[in-house]
Amino acid sequence: MGQKFRGAGVALITPFRKDSTIDFDALGDLVEDMISGGIDFLVVLGTTAETATLSAEEKKNVVDFVAEKNAGRLPIVVGAGGNNTQEVVEGLKNLDADKIDGILSVVPYYSKPTQEGIYQHFMQIAKYSPVPVILYNVPGRTGMHMDATTTIRLAEASDKFVAIKEASGDLNELAIILRDRPENFSVLSGDDGLTVPAISLGADGVISVIANGFPAQVADMVHSAVSGDFPKASAQHMQFLNLFNLLFVEGNPGGLKLH
């Protein structure tokens, strides 16, 4: 199942109108741009979608809309995480598994659980999720780093865990996961600026932010790297070098929306 989540994934933004309502016309255009640009899978309601600012009804409407617009063309992943394990589990019970292909679930934030606490949290998610789970390690946002040994422990404990979005920025940790991972467990870069280096170590792709603005270029860079054409991928990476920093000066996804 992890093979479904390889290559160039995109963490979709949520476009808003001036009155703070969701701009579904713009979101529809964005989905079409991602598909025509060669993106491999869509991630809805991630951090980049400003999910923390959306109501429960808005979240449902976004998922329903993207699923309808996509019409089965690309795999869809939906963000489904939090620091209240029971609340996450209850949300999973109400998930419409017919519309999506997987969930992206972040390490519990703010509470700063132990590695054992992280493990038990995700095992509950694996128990109740009706679809495959992509783990998400982003200590810069959660305040807690999920060790590579915990990632491997989870990957070996349940077939429900099919991939990890690794956004710790630590290539040594990523290399340990790549070395020890089970077969068919995908490793995805969570940092645009580390995508090509990560793939050079054996990673399977990226869940990208900047692909919202440059889908064809990001897809081509990732596909070049995954196919082993690192001279081409490295040259493409260098063309993005300034953007990797500039697009995040105002925070994610502020730079993209200004773009």
Active site (catalytic) residues = 136, 165
Q: How far apart are alpha carbons 221 and 214 in whole angstroms?
A: 11
Those residues with Cβ within 8 angstroms of residue 121's Cβ, 6 or more apart along the chain or in another chain:
85, 108, 113
Nearest to 154 by CA among 175, 137, 171: 137
Bridge partner list, 8: 206
Q: How far apart are alpha carbons 233 and 19 in whole angstroms?
A: 41
- CB burial of 160-194 (b: ≥16 within 10 Å; e: otherwise) equals bbbbbbbbbeebebbbbbbeebeeebbbbbbbbbb
Q: Which tokens in the block code for residue 111?
A: 């509470």
3-state secondary structure of 138: coil
CB 82 within 8 A of CB 95: no
3-state secondary structure of 44: strand
Q: How far apart are alpha carbons 182 and 116 in whole angstroms?
A: 20
DSSP assignment string, 65-133: HHHHHHTTSS-EEEE---S-HHHHHHHHHT--TTT-SEEEEEPPPSS---HHHHHHHHHHHHHH-SS-E
Q: How far apart are alpha carbons 91 and 39 in whole angstroms?
A: 28
